[in-house]
Amino acid sequence: MGRHRANLVGCGIRPSGLIERQAMNSRKRWCRISPVAVLTALSLVATAAAHASASPGPDGSHEGVAGQPGCERLDARACLDLALTAMGGRDKLASIHNVQLDVIGHTALTEQSYRQAPFITSYERDQLTVDFDKGRLQQHARAVWPESDPHQADIEQTLVATAQGGVYRGKDGDSPCGLSDLEDTRATLALGPERLLLTAAAAPDLHYASGEWLRSTPHSVLEFSWNGQPVRVLLNAFNHLPDAFERTATFQDFWFAWGDVEQRVYYDNWKLLGGMVLPTNRIEQRNGVPWQSMQILDASFNATLDDKTFAMDAAVATKSAQSKGWNREFSDKHRVELAPGIELYSGAWNTTLIRQDDGVLVLEAPISPHYVTGVLAKARSTFAGMPVKAVLSSSDSWPHMAGVREAVAEDLPVYILDLNQPLLERLVAAPHHLQPDHLQAAPKAPQWHVVSGRQEIGSGANRVVIYPLRGASTERQYMVYFPQHKLLYASDTLALNADHTLYDPELMHEVVQAVAREHLEVTTVYAMHEGPTPWSEVVRLVDAATK
């Protein structure tokens, strides 16, 4: 929400036509044409001939792409030189010391849309300044958040960051930014379109990879290492512009749950700015999902920058780089006993341990496999001698289910909603080679207990009953009822605002409907982001919202 995105900088270019005009007049002025121009003209002819009968494949496909389209007879660095020339020249790109951008964009909320694809979308308008010379940026973001209460959709945030650390500015001072902000900052400084080819040129291991189709056009592909991982640049066979770059990465945002994520960034809407051809549109695809589109509305280069613009509390910025992000440790500091043998551990995402006669249930496996390793260790130490009998995962939100891989790695049964099974199957199968977890090291088949209706688990005082919610906003969640204690876990539906009003009352409205439908007697309710709350108070708030 409001994050600056790497590689927004871009301003597009149409092929100048210089090479084509030289080729047409070659019989008259052959002596004026450089060897590179001759090879380029010949390569265009060869490319057109080689792929005239080829059937275009899907983006990323290699089938039918012969050699390096547009760079026949050239080595990788000579091919890169063609791309640099197409964008205005190496010197022109290197002369960009800073850029100021007015950007508008949208992001698919893949991690928390209530019904999966097609996804709910957030919007933003950003003012971004990137200082390449000093390796820093400032972004003022104005986001419009769709899952907000009325009159609260607009959110503003200012980020100042370098590759080493960053802060969010607030009225009460600086606070540490997230690891994903630092990750994006590094990519902006090195892989943005005004620096992408220069970064490739500086790489000692620059080489060709297999050619690919992109938008039904053959592309030559240059590959190089950046931050220890390969980056592939796709050069259009006909105009030599970098239409996209690709890489595989473990991202520090919500996509962390998916391990090795295939990223492709498309560049489009090319424009001539400051004597350079740069893209103004950046579309990012992750694991085949069109995730984000950012469009530059205005750009200016090499302004006189004030260092105060980038000032930040150094101690706070240092903390941002020290964060463990999603690989955080489980903490038992915020423990609440809901009933004897039922312990709630509050955090960014809550977890509950439930002691039954024949073992322990773990309600929710959020955040990451590493985090859930700590949750399971806590269950075994708190209820020593009792096995962990199962894990309950109540929703499809990525942070909620991100630790399910650890439950599978430990051969634990996992209770999941029927609608969420396809998503969880993909999560369990997702490769994690870059940062291996236990499931990657020793693959196991999941033991799903698929919930399609009322499901009872255990006996005795802490018997639980699962009920699918099936509401418009809650159809991919289930609630967990403790009959003996008249206690209800409402998944990710209950959150109280600072003024003690309900966040998104529709969510709890659907829970109240489900409770009535199942004829449950509830005294206390709690949820993923809310502690125990009197049910009567929640019903009163829902009733007020319906009037």
What pLDDT, in 10s, does the model give residues 102-155? 999 999 999 999 989 999 999 999 999 999 999 999 999 999 999 999 999 999
Strand ranges across the sheet with 530-534: 455-457, 464-468, 478-482, 487-489, 524-527, 530-534
The DSSP letter of residue 181 is H
Verify that 263 and 401 share a domain, yes or no: no
Q: What is the pTM of this model?
A: 0.89
Q: Do residue 473 and residue 422 come from a single domain?
A: yes
12 in a structural domain: no
Residues 235 and 360 both lie in one domain = no
Percentage above 90 pLDDT, the chain = 89
Q: Let me know: does 141 contact 4? Beta carbons within 8 Å.
A: yes
Query: Do residues 33 and 99 share a domain?
Result: yes
For residue 337, tell me if it sits in a domain: yes
Residues 273 and 400 in one domain: no
The first and second tokens of residue 189, run together, are 């400084």
Residue 243 falls in which region: left (phi positive, over 0), alpha (psi -120 to 50) or beta: alpha
Q: Do residues 392 and 536 both lie within one domain? A: yes
Q: Quote helix, strand, coil % in the chain, to nearest 5.
A: 30, 35, 40
Report DSSP letters for 341-400, one per residue. TEEEE-SSS-EEEEEETTEEEEE---S-HHHHHHHHHHHHHHTTT--EEEEE-----HHH
Residues 295 and 335 in one domain: no
**Higher-pLDDT residue of 497, 10:** 497
Tokens matching residue 70 = 């547009």
Burial of 479 by CB count in 10 Å (0-12 exposed, 13-18 middle, 19+ buried)? Answer: buried
Q: Is residue 212 in a domain?
A: yes
Is 120 inside a domain boundary?
A: no
DSSP 43-80: HHHHHHHHHSSPPP-STT--TT--SSTT-TT--HHHHH
Q: Within a domain: residue 139?
A: no
- 378-430 residue pLDDT tens: 999 999 999 999 999 999 999 999 999 999 999 999 999 999 999 999 999 99
DSSP code of residue 120: P
Domain of 24?
A: 18-106+178-304
Whether residue 365 sits in one domain with residue 277: no
Residue 528 scores a pLDDT above 80: yes
| Total tally of structural domains belonging to the chain | 2
CB neighbours (10 Å) of residue 322?
Answer: 9
Cis peptide before 118 (omega within 30 of 0): yes
CATH of the domain at 401: 3.60.15.10
Residue range 232-238: average pLDDT?
A: 99
* Cβ-contact 124, 143 below 8 angstroms: yes
Pairing of strands 388-392, 289-301: unpaired
Residue reference for tokens 């760079």? 71
At residue 42, the 3 state secondary structure works out as helix
Cα atoms found within 13 Å of the Cα of residue 301, Cβ hemisphere only: 16
Do 260 and 348 lie in one domain? The reply is: no
- Do 336 and 422 lie in one domain? The reply is yes
Quote the CA–CA distance of 495 and 375 in Å, as a whole number.
Answer: 23
**Is the domain of 297 the same as that of 349?**
no
128 in any annotated domain? no
Give the residue-averaged pLDDT of 448-465: 98
Mean pLDDT value across the chain: 92
Cα–Cα distances in Å, from 140 out to 127, 170, 284, 301?
5, 12, 21, 18
Same domain, 482 and 513: yes
